[in-house]
């Protein structure tokens, strides 16, 4: 499920889309992003993704931040333990300077 109506522009990168879906009891989050500098650097050099549900930070199970040669827009794939299907999930993108944007979603 695509969650953004428009891109989020940060100082060092742009997030073009955030997607979330449930798969085998886990929450999969995909962030399509584009660095403005350091084209070969991983997302962790620029910011972080924080996913919470009912005020609790979800545990990360897997992280895949491919850097494919020649790609401008990159995909950051994250997998989290999912607590329940009742409470809303909050996905927060936080730039290293502290600026953040948040999207909320109900997944059932």
pTM: 0.92
pLDDT, tens digit, 9 for 90 and up, residues 53-87: 999 999 999 999 977 777 889 999 999 998 787 89
- Asked whether the beta carbons of 78 and 47 are under 8 A apart, the reply is no
pLDDT, tens digit, 9 for 90 and up, residues 5-53: 999 999 999 999 999 999 988 999 999 999 998 778 899 999 999 999 9
Superfamily name and number for 8-105: Immunoglobulins (2.60.40.10)
What's the Cα-to-Cα distance from 87 to each of 1, 8, 35, 94, rounded to whole Å? 17, 25, 32, 22
Boundaries of every domain in the chain: 8-105
């Amino acid at each position: 499920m695509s969650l953004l109506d428009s891109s989020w522009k940060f100082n060092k990168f742009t997030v073009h889309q955030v997607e979330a879906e449930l798969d085998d009891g886990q929450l999969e989050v995909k962030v399509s992003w584009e660095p403005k500098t350091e084209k070969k650097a991983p997302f962790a050099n620029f910011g972080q993704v924080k996913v919470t549900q009912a005020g609790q930070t979800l545990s990360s199970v897997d992280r895949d931040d491919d850097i494919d040669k020649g790609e401008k827009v990159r995909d950051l794939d994250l997998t989290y333990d999912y607590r329940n299907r009742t409470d809303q999930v909050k996905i927060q993108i936080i730039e290293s300077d502290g600026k953040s944007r948040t999207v909320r979603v109900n997944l059932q």
